[in-house]
Structure 1
Amino acid sequence: MEHLELLRELHDRGSLAAVAAALHKTPSALSQQLKAAQRELGVPLVARSGRGLQLTDAGTALARSAVGVATALAEAEASWQRFQGSATGTVRLACFHSAGELLVPGLLDRLRPHPGLVLETSDEDVAQDDFGALAADYDVVVAHRSDDVAAPAREDLVVVPLLREPMDVALPADHPLATRAHVTPADVIGEDWIAPPAEFPIDRVLSAIAARAGAPVRVVRRTTHLPLTELLVARGHGVALLPRYTTREHAPAGLVLVPLRDLRAGRLVEALLRPDRHARWVVRLVVDELVAEAGAVVAP
């Protein structure tokens, strides 16, 4: 099983150095373990690729079989915990900032009936295509992606939909468009915009606005910190796209959210998990309560 797990980690993390850092072992120790596995099995499991290592077809097949073995063990443990009637264990949850603000307080409230379950939370805000890699380090990863693009290939992960959050245009309350029932891309394309870095879901929606309006977007400031964006908009330093449910809970005075028309603008919030971690009972409890909390957020 130890050999299988090493191959799986190498498959998911891409380099022996990354695996060594994750497992708190030295690369040389893992290299010796790989050599021992190859001698034992009688086939090459890795091959040199530039300065690193790449799994052979045999190594890839064994790495994938490790998922099934780990999942079966997790399911057996979950069955035993259900038999005993006690959900115990630690669940590591990673959230991007605004999802944590939106979901984590209510999630903790919902988990109070399970005192044996310890939820550890961490902030992880990365480009939308990079969330999947975080599932190697966390039991549950709350990710977001723009809903106007196809989902990335994530055949090695369990994907649990949580909610769709519309993106509204945030305007200063004294802006000429602030009293509108809605705005179009053509209405707002000429504004000074405050936006997150490229490849974040909100920025992709902003690119779609530019494409629909047929003109470039003028970005005057970039930040991933939504509360800062809200304050800047409220004080008249630009306009922004902001997630509706997250922003409406604490929008500062002087900021107005106006729906965007003629363009599908939103982000999908999902939970990403390795299959064996999804099989753990305590993890399933967390995911079930995440789904419930997301449903309560969306409900009017």
Structure 2
Amino acid sequence: MDVDQLAVLRELAERGSITAVAAAMHKTPSAVSQQLRTLQRQTGVPLVERVGRGVVLTDAGHALARSSVQIATAMAEAEATWDAYRGEASGTVRLTVFYSAAELLVPGLMTRLKEHPSIDLKVEDQDVSQDDFAALTADHDIVVAHRSDDVLPPERSALRVVPLLREPLDVALPLDHPLGHRASVSAADVIGEAWIGVPENYPLDRVLGAMAAHESTTARIVYRTTHLPLTEKLVAAGHGIALLPRHTSLQRAEGHFRLVPLSDLRAGRRIEALLRPDRAARRAVQIVLEALRDEARTFH
């Protein structure tokens, strides 16, 4: 079996269409179809079947696609061993990270990677619902994701998951807010306020929902945004209060708004790195991941 043909099968299992596979692998759809037909002839069993205007993998196709992951990982591990032996690590590493984590981690990460000039780090900002981060690993070597404390992640056994840090969430109050002098506040103290929130199903929204459920009510959200600096400005101007990540917002809080911990709920978000196992085996990816972990440790 040809390794490239197996890779096509794996991509079809993850992306769901020949057109998507062709775009991801920089091939034409006809070339992808030809490789699938050739692989099917070599194995002697049906690997795909037509459903409507597209194709889906058979049970045999899924089994072979899983095997292709092991083969790709073994090849990447062999290359990483050789790179380590030669003392070299080079190549492009594609990192995607949600906005506030980028602000927290990427400047220090790039400083650390100055020691590895042969690694070309490509960084992209993407923020999605917490259940959708895993899909981004199809197109990126490292995906920095987040989820709220109280939510179990979707099934991710096909990925390597690396915890980076837990960031507490505090209640952001205007400087003149009556509760601003308090060492902590409870959900009952603040849930009735106007809130600056994030899109539904984002980690901070899950925490605010838990606060509301704790008090058997609903939160009154007057504005939703993923842009934390805008949230901070709206709070500072007195247009509402918000949940903000402590490490990310602390530096900008002084003189503009107050960050007050919650007393009765454990509120936080967990920041993790998600990787395909074959990409996690690459030497250059390992170096970037370790630098990312070192930077995250500075906030523990």
TM over 0.5: yes
Question: Contact 1:139–1:273 (CA<8 Å) still a contact in 2?
Answer: yes
CA positional deviation for 1:33:
2.2
Identity of aligned residues (%): 62
Q: Which secondary structure state, in structure 2, belongs to the residue aligned with residue 297 of structure 1?
A: coil
RMSD: 1.2
Aligned to 1:120: 122
Q: Give the Cα separation in 2 of the matches to 1:14 and 1:94.
A: 22
Structure 2 runs not aligned, ≥5 long: none
Tell me if structure 2 keeps the 8 A contact 1:185–1:262: yes
Secondary structure of 1:119's match? Answer: strand
Distance in 2 (alpha carbons) for counterparts of 1:290 and 1:237: 35
Residues 1-300 of structure 1: pairs in structure 2 closer than 5 A:
1-251=3-253, 253-298=255-300
SS of equivalent residue, structure 1 residue 111: helix
Please give the alpha-carbon distance, in whole angstroms, between the structure 1 residues aligned to 2:149 and 2:50.
Answer: 39
Q: TM-score, normalised by structure 2?
A: 0.96
Partners of 2:266 and 2:136 in 1: CA distance:
28
1:2 Cα offset (Å): 1.4
Give, in whole Å, the separation in 2 of the partners of 1:248 and 1:238: 18
Mapped to 1, the partners of 2:24 and 2:146 lie a distance apart of 24
Query: Shift in Å at residue 112 of structure 1?
Result: 1.5
Shift of 1:9: 0.6
The whole-number CA distance in structure 1 between the counterparts of 2:53 and 2:152 is 33
CA distance in structure 2 between the aligned counterparts of 1:35 and 1:129, rounded to whole angstroms: 34
When the two structures are aligned, how many residues end up with a matched partner?
298
Displacement after TM superposition at 1:31 (Å): 2.1
Question: Equivalents in 2 of 1:175, 1:163: separation in Å?
Answer: 30
Q: Distance in 1 between matches of 2:267 and 2:280?
A: 30
Deviation at 1:114, TM superposition (A): 1.2
Say if 1:162 and 1:294, in contact at 8 Å, map to a contact too: yes
Shift of 1:79: 1.0
Tell me, in whole angstroms, the C-alpha distance in 1 between the residues paired with 2:16 and 2:254. 44
Q: Which amino acid aligns with 2:70?
A: G
User: C-alpha deviations, 1:151-173, integer Å up to 9, x for none?
Assistant: 21101100000000111111101
- Aligned residues of 1:234 and 1:252 also touching (Cα < 8 A): no
SS at match of 1:48: strand
Shift of 1:50: 4.2
Q: Secondary structure at the match of 1:149?
A: coil
- SS at 1:167 equivalent: strand
Q: Is the 1:230–1:252 Cα contact (8 Å) retained in structure 2? A: no
Which structure 1 segments of 5+ residues have no match? none
